[in-house]
């Protein structure tokens, strides 16, 4: 198979036009072309008046070897690499002890799946409920303000990314093509096949829910076991080795191989492992607000007269500004055609995040506009970042009226330093509701200064970004983990053998894709460790 990159075609083109490009590129006849599949399709919208599609294709011909030799000078024509996933180990027939995975978010799902595929029959524990029950609880909170602190946007089957936009992009280096394994598993579980080739794949909330169920079924069919409502409250340690754990109901499980894939919001579990002496460090994260515009404004900025074209879909953006006070402000978790959601897992706190459906056809575009902070902003204790987050979330709860409505302000008023009294053309989508106010007291002054400087700078990149009637809703605090549960080269905790910190909560991932990939790496490390122990 031959991989051809940088094939450029107009936004609207036929299959024949694509084939013609292949024939001309390889200088072959139609009879020599056996098959063409799209490996990647990107959009070149640098010139809004003529938008192109950029293809990378995998092509099969009757003379592959001959062509590869002939074009060995051309970096755009290469042998298609072998991207198939290869298992690193296999469980022995007389497996003595089952590994345990704590957390069934994207990371825990892939730790569990890969271990199950290698025959290790993992026991997987999640504090939340199975996904259909969890959906009722989460939507119940959004509609009726009834928060279930163990079953919500953060906790339960599928993890934090279940009610999300399901963006699958990542910037991590992936020499072993782990992301291909993740995407293939997602497609097998019902994700749209296009995620295999579009440059910015996304899935959307409703599809994610049924995919998570299918992945659970696969793990169980392979010999894994998954328990919900199974919160881990204690770890058993002997001479620096983990030997098991205790669940909230008092039951115990013995295992010398435990993956901790608990996400960035399991603050009680962070406290528990820190109290047990597991090595933990404070790490930087970001805080800010969700901004909302009409999606049509973003589409127009990026796609001009092609805005709304079905192949382009809803436009997204990525912005960054380095401020005079040394802070960086950037857009995070942009959700085109989506909604802002209530994402607290703790009572009397308000946290924002964003989600969308596969269609991305809601009225508004939203993203978090966040300011980078680091442990020097909350010195003194490895877990001090949690107190910092809680303080902001409690302040937002108070400012929102102490009933889970979120405090909100128009961008124009925020820039002028005036409280907002009435909405304009952008209706905030946050459920259960918002209260118009002055957001400037809810974040530290250096964050407010930085966001006030960044919004006009962003307006120079996206015309209308700092328009008076765009809205801000706060606060966005769960951008990444406030701690790192440090691990060594064998992916075990620095001071606790057999404990494998994994995914976003441990500080080794940020987003669905990187959490899933970290899950594969941790499963491999656990399998090698189990086999080495024997
Ligand atoms: P999590 O997904 O947080 O999973 C951790 C799991 O551990 C949870 O299910 C929890 O119940 C369980 N758990 C915690 N403590 C315990 C315990 N003591 N015992 C047992 N179980 C426990 N990322 C993207 O890439 N694209 C997006 O579009 C996107 N949108 C998002 C939208 C929202 C609303 C949110 C909240 C997040 C979004 N993210 C998105 C971020 C993404 O969801 C996370 O990066 C990802 O889920 C991290 O995966 P994880 O498996 O490491 O942790």
Whether residues 262 and 291 share a domain: the answer is no
Assign 533 a pLDDT band (cuts: 50, 70, 90).
Answer: low
HSE, side-chain direction, 13 A CA sphere, residue 129: 14
Whether residues 200 and 130 share a domain: the answer is yes
Structure tokens at 209: 């829910």
Picking from 172-176, 434-438, 455-459, 491-495, which range would have the lowest pLDDT averaged per residue? 172-176
Last residue within a domain, chosen from 17, 49, 79: 79
**pLDDT, tens only, 340-388:** 999 999 999 999 999 988 889 899 999 999 999 999 999 889 999 999 9
Whether residues 346 and 202 share a domain: the answer is no
Let me know if residue 94 belongs to a domain. Answer: no
112 lines ligand 1 (CB under 6 A): no
Whether residues 164 and 213 share a domain: the answer is yes
**Domains contained in the chain, number:** 3
170 lines ligand 1 (CB under 6 A): no
Picking from 197-206, 250-259, 500-509, which range would have the lowest pLDDT averaged per residue? 197-206
Ligand 1 midpoint to CA 160 (Å)? 3
- The Cα 223–Cα 220 span in angstroms is 5
CA 338-341-345 angle, to 5 degrees, is 150
- The Cα 295–Cα 366 span in angstroms is 8
Sheet holding 52-61, edge to edge: 33-44, 52-61, 2-10, 77-79
**In this structure, what CATH number is given to the domain that contains residue 51?**
3.30.70.2700
What does the pLDDT average to over 139-143? Answer: 94
Whether residues 60 and 195 share a domain: the answer is no
Structure tokens at 298: 């973003």
Total-model pTM = 0.96
Q: How big is the chain by its Cα radius of gyration, in Å? A: 24
Predicted confidence (pLDDT) at residue 326 exceeds the cutoff of 80: yes
Let me know if residue 91 belongs to a domain. Answer: no
Nearest atom in ligand 1 to 202's CA: 28
**pLDDT score at 534:** 43
DSSP string for residues in 105-135: SHHHHHHHHHHHHTT---EEE-SS--HHHHH
Last residue within a domain, chosen from 29, 47, 79: 79
Q: How far is CA 146 from CA 137, 138, 339, 396, 450, in A?
A: 8, 9, 19, 18, 35
- Phi, psi for 375 (deg, rounded to 5): -60, -20
Assign 169 a pLDDT band (cuts: 50, 70, 90).
Answer: confident
**pLDDT score at 167:** 85
**pLDDT, tens only, 340-351:** 999 999 999 999
Let me know if residue 88 belongs to a domain. Answer: no
- The Cα 454–Cα 45 span in angstroms is 24
Neighbour tally for 273: CB within 10 Å: 24
DSSP-derived pairing of the beta strands 123-125 and 225-227 = parallel
Residue closest via CA to ligand 1's atom 32 equals 164
Whether residues 458 and 493 share a domain: the answer is no
Structure tokens at 162: 């279940």
**pLDDT, tens only, 433-443:** 999 999 999 99
Whether residues 246 and 109 share a domain: the answer is yes
Residue closest via CA to ligand 1's atom 11 equals 155
DSSP string for residues in 221-257: HTT-EEESS--EEEEEEETTEEEEEEETTS-EEE-S-
112, 125, 114: which is closest to 181 by C-alpha? 114
Share of the chain residues as helix, strand and coil, in percent rounded to the nearest 5 = 30, 25, 45
**pLDDT score at 171:** 82
Contact 162, 156 (CB under 8 A): yes
Let me know if residue 439 belongs to a domain. Answer: yes
Identify the domain containing residue 243 by its residue range: 100-281+483-533
Whether residues 381 and 445 share a domain: the answer is yes
Whether residues 338 and 451 share a domain: the answer is yes
- The Cα 3–Cα 76 span in angstroms is 8
**pLDDT score at 145:** 95
Whether residues 231 and 186 share a domain: the answer is yes
Whether residues 143 and 53 share a domain: the answer is no
Ligand 1 midpoint to CA 326 (Å)? 30
Residues near 418 by Cβ (< 8 Å), separated by ≥ 6? 438
Ligand 1 midpoint to CA 368 (Å)? 17
Whether residues 303 and 188 share a domain: the answer is no
- The Cα 464–Cα 366 span in angstroms is 14
Ligand 1 midpoint to CA 29 (Å)? 50
Let me know if residue 90 belongs to a domain. Answer: no
344, 341, 273, 333: which is closest to 486 by C-alpha? 273
**pLDDT, tens only, 83-122:** 999 999 999 998 889 999 999 999 999 999 999 999 999 9
**pLDDT score at 96:** 86
Nearest atom in ligand 1 to 341's CA: 34
**pLDDT, tens only, 33-91:** 999 999 999 999 999 999 999 999 999 999 999 999 999 999 999 999 999 999 999 99
Instruction: Enter the ipTM.
Output: 0.99
HSE, side-chain direction, 13 A CA sphere, residue 5: 9
**In this structure, what CATH number is given to the domain that contains residue 508?**
3.50.50.60
**pLDDT score at 173:** 86
266 lines ligand 1 (CB under 6 A): yes
């Amino acid at each position: 198979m031959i991989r051809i990159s940088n094939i450029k075609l107009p936004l609207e083109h036929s299959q024949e036009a694509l084939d013609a490009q292949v024939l001309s590129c390889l200088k072959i006849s139609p009879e020599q072309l056996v098959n063409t599949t799209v490996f990647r399709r990107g959009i070149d919208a640098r010139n809004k008046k003529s938008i192109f599609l950029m293809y990378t294709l995998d092509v099969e011909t009757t003379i592959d070897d001959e062509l590869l030799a002939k074009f060995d000078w051309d970096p755009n024509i290469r042998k298609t690499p072998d991207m198939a996933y290869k298992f690193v180990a296999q469980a022995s027939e007389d497996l003595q002890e089952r590994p345990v995975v704590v957390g069934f978010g994207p990371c825990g799902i892939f730790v569990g799946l890969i271990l199950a595929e290698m025959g290790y029959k993992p026991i997987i524990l999640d504090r939340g409920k199975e996904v259909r029950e969890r959906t009722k609880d989460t939507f119940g909170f959004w509609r009726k303000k009834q928060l279930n602190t163990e079953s919500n946007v953060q906790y339960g089957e599928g993890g934090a990314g279940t009610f999300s936009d399901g963006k699958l992009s990542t910037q991590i280096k992936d020499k072993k093509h782990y992301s291909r394994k993740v995407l293939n598993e997602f497609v097998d579980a019902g994700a749209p096949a296009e995620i295999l080739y579009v440059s910015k794949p996304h899935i959307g909330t409703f599809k994610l829910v049924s995919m998570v169920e299918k992945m659970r079924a696969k793990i169980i069919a392979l010999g894994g076991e998954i328990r919900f409502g199974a919160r881990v409250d204690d770890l058993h340690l002997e001479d620096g080795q983990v030997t098991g754990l205790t669940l909230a109901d008092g039951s115990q499980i013995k295992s010398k191989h435990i993956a901790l894939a608990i996400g960035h919001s399991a603050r009680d579990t962070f406290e528990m492992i820190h109290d047990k002496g597991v090595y933990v460090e404070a790490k930087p994260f970001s805080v800010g607000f969700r901004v909302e515009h009409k999606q049509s404004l973003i589409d127009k900025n990026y796609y001009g007269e092609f805005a709304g074209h079905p192949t382009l879909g809803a436009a997204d953006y990525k912005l960054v500004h380095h401020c005079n006070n040394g802070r960086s402000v950037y857009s995070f978790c942009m959700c085109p055609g989506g909604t802002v959601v209530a994402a607290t897992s703790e009572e009397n706190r308000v946290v924002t995040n964003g989600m969308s459906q596969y269609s991305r056809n809601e009225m508004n575009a939203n993203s978090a506009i966040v300011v980078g902070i680091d442990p020097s902003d909350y010195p003194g204790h490895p877990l001090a970042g949690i107190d910092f987050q809680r303080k902001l979330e409690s302040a937002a709860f108070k400012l929102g009226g102490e009933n889970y409505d979120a405090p909100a302000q128009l961008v124009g008023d925020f820039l002028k330093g005036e409280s907002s009294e009435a909405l304009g053309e952008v209706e905030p989508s946050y459920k259960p509701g918002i209260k118009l106010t002055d957001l400037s007291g809810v974040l530290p002054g250096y964050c407010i200064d930085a966001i006030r400087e960044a919004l006009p700078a962003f307006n120079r990149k996206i015309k209308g970004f700092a328009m008076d009637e765009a809205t801000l809703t706060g606060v966005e605090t769960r951008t990444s983990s406030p701690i790192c549960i440090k691990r060594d080269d064998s992916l075990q905790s620095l001071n606790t053998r057999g404990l494998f910190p994994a995914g976003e909560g441990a500080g080794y991932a940020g987003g669905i894709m990187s959490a899933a990939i970290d899950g594969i790496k941790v499963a491999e490390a656990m399998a090698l460790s189990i086999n080495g122990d024997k």
